Amino acid sequence: MMDNKYLVEVQNLQQYFPVAGGKLFEKKVVKAVDNVSFGIKRGETLGLVGESGCGKTTTGRTLLRLYEPTSRKDLF
Ligand SMILES: Nc1ncnc2c1ncn2[C@@H]1O[C@H](COP(=O)(O)OP(=O)(O)O)[C@@H](O)[C@H]1O
Ligand SMILES: [Mg+2]
What residue segments make up the domains of the chain, in order of their start? 6-75
Alpha carbon distance 47, 4 (integer Å)? 21
Query: Tens-of-pLDDT digits for all 76 residues of the chain?
Result: 455 689 999 999 999 999 988 788 888 999 999 999 999 999 999 999 999 999 999 999 999 888 887 877 765 5
Give the residue, out of 30, 52, 62, with the most ligand 1 atoms within 8 A of its beta carbon, to mutate for a pocket test: 30
- Cα-Cα-Cα-Cα dihedral of 7, 53, 30, 70, to 10°? 10
Element counts in the chain: helices (H) and strands (E)? 1, 3
C-alpha of residue 3 to centroid of ligand 2, in Å: 33
- Of 4, 12, 32, the closest CA to residue 73 belongs to 12
Please check whether residue 8 is in contact with residue 39, taking contact to mean a CB–CB distance below 8 angstroms.
yes
What is the pTM assigned to this prediction? 0.86
